[in-house]
Amino acid sequence: MGDEVLVRRDGGVGRIVLDRPRALNSLTHGMVLDVRAALDAWAEDDTVRVVVLTGAGERGLCAGGDIRAFHDDAKLGGAGTRAFLRDEYRLNELISRYPKPYVAVMDGITMGGGVGVSAHGSVRIVTERSVVALPETRIGLVPDVGGSRLLSRAPGELGTHLGLSAASMTPGDALLCGFADHFVPSAKLPELLAGLDGSPVAEVVARYAEPAPAAPLAEQREWIDACYAADSVEEIVARLVASGVPEAKQAAEELAERSPTMLKVTLSALRRARSHGSLAESLEQEYRVSCAAVAHHDLVEGIRAQVVDKDRNPRWSPATLAGVDERAVAAFFEPPADGDLRLTRADG
């Protein structure tokens, strides 16, 4: 094990702590492999009854993948990023079918890859501090880590709104949209986690869980469903602008800041994910899309603008929705040159 993932046993509880607090526990390839190794070992260990995932520090579980590393690697051809994504998505799929209770504590910032290692677990806990998001379109990428499946199954068109705009979810929103199961005040987490060794997980969680807080997105369903049901990004933007709703106008302004190419690819990915029969199928699609994105101008440019130079002024190519050829969008869904992810299981 490396020094960025803490793995230990407390009686019958296997504990995994993502330990890069200065980087908001953002995932490196080594961290992904370390989490996978722990899960593989504990799956065969009858003395481990439950697994708990938490993040070190006070700010959050995990802010996502190490996108600065993506930026540097993509400029060199992207082989390292593709290898990272392959192992990350395999980990996401394993978590979704893990044979023991997998308790993910989504306290604080839980975004991108942080969603991938938590929201596919069997027991997903948010607190009053939780901020959950798939912010990929902000950096010239597309929602991944199984996010396309989660978003496609959210009520109405909420997932389309979240995926395109990269908006953040409150704890109540995360529960509403199917990213979490239980709300537990952060002050009660130590007692909850301490109790997991002696009692069934469901009983312990029920002891500390409280009613879900309000979900702001629930109040906005009318305009979100009406606007995002459109079949193209251009029509979505037109409906948002014409709606007369201030929040819709703000959403249109946010979309105008995103990569036109990645908006169109994201909408296509979300629509396709609605017909997928398993998380594995969605991850296989995401691997194709992400590999294509790594080779696209907008990923390097988006990370440069947001993280490297921090000028917040990405120069997308093409710069407009009208300039994005539909054939270019379709190409994102073709198999990568070095092969598919191949996760689909016969049992779905």
* Positions marked active-site: 65, 113, 136, 144
**Do 35 and 95 touch, CB atoms closer than 8 A?**
no
**Do 67 and 303 touch, CB atoms closer than 8 A?**
yes
**Do 183 and 209 touch, CB atoms closer than 8 A?**
yes
CA 95 – CA 116 distance, rounded (Å):
9
Question: Which two structure tokens, joined as six digits, stand for 80?
Answer: 């390292």
Quickly list DSSP for 87-127: HHHHHHHHHHT-SS-EEEEE-SEEETHHHHTTTTSSEEEE-
Cβ neighbors of 158 (< 8 A, separation 6 or more) are: 176, 177, 217, 221, 224
- Greatest Cα pair distance, the chain, in angstroms, is 60
Cβ neighbors of 98 (< 8 A, separation 6 or more) are: 39, 43, 51, 121, 122
**For residue 267, what are the CA distances in angstroms to 58, 88, 153, 263, 301?**
34, 23, 14, 6, 21
Give the distance from CA 107 to its chain's centroid: 15
Start-to-end C-alpha separation, the chain: 31
Q: 27-64 in b/e burial notation, b at 16+ Cβ within 10 A?
A: bbbebbbbbbebbeebeeeeebbbbbbbbbbebbbbbb
